[in-house]
Amino acid sequence: MQKLFDSEIKVMELIWDKGPIGAKELSLIAYDTIGWNKNTTYTVIKKLVSKGFVRRDDPGFVCTALISREEVCKKETESLIEKFFKGSKSALFSALLDDESLTAEELSSLREMIEKR
């Protein structure tokens, strides 16, 4: 899977949230939420189409996600673990546990996740 840049993820989030959506409506939402002009949004949509993450259908330049949020999250997480923790999930988990800002509730939630595995 190709890498998604932050700008592409922002547009994917809008498409995932709104379902199949026309590019014009998408550009209006991007303007309101991100502050992008129409050309910026259309450029990012074109990149997503060329990468195979979005399908564009006429009429109306309707954009449909071809990959789920969950798939992207999984790939991005794998990339993060590989990049910063040499592929070690336990090293990532250790870094999370070393984070002094974790609340008791977050620690409890992590413990539950482990016990369910």
- What confidence tens digit (pLDDT) does each residue in 27-36 have? 999 999 999 9
Domain covering 6-65, topology = Arc Repressor Mutant, subunit A (1.10.10)
User: What does the pLDDT average to over 49-68?
Assistant: 95
- What confidence tens digit (pLDDT) does each residue in 80-106 have? 999 999 999 999 988 888 877 888 898
CA distance 62 to 49: 11
Q: How far is CA 76 from CA 15, 42, 106, in A?
A: 18, 24, 22
